Amino acid sequence: MKAALHPGRLLARRYRLIDQIGAGGMSVIWRARDEVLDRVVALKVLAPSLAADARFRDMVREEARAAAQLVHPHVTSVHDYGETVDPDGSITSFVVMELLSGEELELRLTEGPLPWPEAVEVGAQVADALAAAHRLGIVHRDITPANVMMTAMGVKVLDFGIATRIGAPDEDEDGGTFGTPAYVAPERLDGAPAQPATDVYSLGVLLHEALTGRVPYPADTWEQLSAALAGGPAPTLADLPELPAAVARICLRSLSRDPADRPTARQLATALRDHRLPPDPPTATTRVPTLALPSSAAASPSSAVPTGHAGVATAPVATALHAGDGTAPPVDDVTEPAGAGPGRSRRRALLLLIPVVLAVAVALAGAALLPDQQPDRRAQPSAGPVTPAPTDPPTDPPATEPSRPTPTPSSPPATRAPTGEPRTLVEAANRVDGLIGAGLRDGEIRDDVALDLRNELRNLLAAVGSGRDELAPPVARLREKVTVRLGEGAISPAYAQRLDAAIAELGAARV
């Protein structure tokens, strides 16, 4: 008799099942613990009714191979593939993936369309993921809201279960068509070989739905889709006057009947990213560029950097990979997003007032102190990194001079020569965060990579500050991530060098 899956069962002498968190037509999703690496993962287990069929096991294996090639912040990370032979000779086939925390786009859209800037951001990130897949010759073939997860680190494209190679036949062995009818490109109904343009069409449908709350050609069956394509009106976004015309054009181009008229996924990602809401005016981000965190943040990391994160793994493959963890705010998030409300202006005003208040207080204190009672220069508050001189000139009255913020340079120096005692952990983290922000502003670091690095930095502070980890391992992981992103072309060589130097300094910080 086939051994049933149940909490506590160990698969492949490594993965201990915890609980079932989802199910689809071909698979069941379990939360499990990897007892070798001591981490929680998601296991996508082929449904028992299909596990006996070698063809379906091969499909699951191919899904794992396809997704494992894609190292991208908007694609689910695949860790492993395994098969377990049960006592009766039957086989349990499974894929091991990162466990995600978030909400499926499909569920989000039940509340109505997204604000157009959010819809454009979602579309740009999905297009980035597809561009990476297409570069490797992989066509997803099932881009739908059910296969897009909204997480704190951005969207994640899920489920490469029916992915195939560019140029492969786009039909199953019985001549049927894979996919969800309303999102399937017209040429797929004619049996054309798999091609990247079919994914772009599906993303165009997803964008249309995210913007309007409806798909351009509603259909639940292939017959309904054929009828809608033959007699339905051409899609339009004319009822969204606030939507930039360029965004409307690129979205409608993605829905072109002729694949040759559609943009590539890379072109679509670039166009959408260029037409997001403009950032805050420069004065909102340069007046207090690298404000250091209060010293209490170092003593109590949990108050400054919550220890939760967006899942035990960091990238997406089934529609129900959820975990309940939260995410921490950025380490040095002085700037707030547009539309944050009246509290935003008050908060910014308070931050701008801090250096003035501190300067007045220092000046008053300096007037009442004897020269040998002057406070240590290193203890004075500063709005940015300060390199103390080897010796203070005898005529320099530091305590009576107001402290003024030092704007972060557009191109910060590659290294900082250490003088005096090492930085504190929070000071060094602010240095890294400031470099990430400068690279983002200069276009030298891709926006999704900047978000990824900042999340890694937050997790480092949380783990080290709470005593769960030594400083060296997370610093090594952060440096390795910079190297990987440099290889992907997501960070310029100059900024990768500067970041690596700053992260190395972080490794020498006082904890």
Question: Which numeric CATH code is attached to 102-274?
Answer: 1.10.510.10
**What is the domain partition of the chain in residue ranges?**
10-97, 102-274, 292-308+410-511
Tell how far CA 329 is from the center of its chain.
14
Q: What is the pLDDT of residue 469?
A: 59
Q: Hey, what are 149's tokens?
A: 């997860």
Q: What is the pLDDT of residue 177?
A: 57
Q: Hey, what are 375's tokens?
A: 């406070």
Q: Which residue has the tokens 């944050």?
A: 340
277: Cβ contacts below 8 Å, ≥ 6 apart = 117, 338
55: Cβ contacts below 8 Å, ≥ 6 apart = 173
In angstroms, rounded to a whole number, what is the distance separating the alpha carbons of residues 122 and 115?
Answer: 11
Please choose, from the candidates 5, 279, 309, 281, the residue with its C-alpha nearest in 3D space to the C-alpha of residue 153. 309
Q: What is the pLDDT of residue 506?
A: 85
2 annotated binding-site participant: no
Q: How many C-beta atoms lie closer than 10 Å to residue 224's C-beta?
A: 14
What is the pTM for the complete model shown? 0.53
Q: What angle do CA 96, 98, 104 make, to 5 degrees?
A: 115
Q: What is the pLDDT of residue 200?
A: 97
- Give 211-236 as a DSSP string: HHSS-SS--SSHHHHHHHHHHSPPP-
Q: Please report, in tens digits, the pLDDT of each residue of the chain (511 residues total).
A: 455 788 999 998 999 999 988 776 677 889 999 999 999 999 988 877 776 777 777 777 777 777 787 788 898 888 888 888 877 777 888 889 888 888 899 999 999 999 999 999 999 999 999 999 999 898 988 899 999 999 988 999 987 767 788 888 766 555 455 678 999 999 988 888 889 999 999 999 999 999 999 999 998 888 899 998 988 788 989 889 899 999 999 999 999 999 999 999 999 999 999 876 554 444 444 444 444 444 433 333 333 333 333 333 333 333 333 333 434 444 344 334 444 444 444 444 444 445 544 454 444 444 443 333 333 433 333 334 433 444 444 444 444 444 444 444 444 444 443 445 567 888 888 889 889 988 888 888 987 788 888 878 877 877 776 565 578 888 888 888 898 888 878 899 888 999 999 998 888 887 6
In angstroms, rounded to a whole number, what is the distance separating the alpha carbons of residues 409 and 289?
Answer: 9
The 8 Å CB, 24+ separation contacts for 356-360 are 356/402, 358/403, 359/401, 359/402, 359/403, 359/404, 360/402
Catalytic annotation present for 142: yes
Half-sphere exposure of 198 (CA within 13 A, CB side): 30
Q: What is the pLDDT of residue 342?
A: 44
Q: What is the pLDDT of residue 71?
A: 82
Q: How many C-beta atoms lie closer than 10 Å to residue 468's C-beta?
A: 10
**Is the separation of the CB atoms in 376 and 255 below 8 Å?**
no
Among residues 19, 38, 88, 142, the one annotated as catalytic is: 142
Q: Hey, what are 268's tokens?
A: 């679509």
Q: What is the pLDDT of residue 341?
A: 47
Residue 36 CA: distances (Å) to CA of 19, 32, 33, 310, 492: 19, 12, 9, 22, 36
Q: What is the pLDDT of residue 421?
A: 57
Question: Which numeric CATH code is attached to 10-97?
Answer: 3.30.200.20
Q: What is the pLDDT of residue 470?
A: 77
Q: What is the pLDDT of residue 450?
A: 83
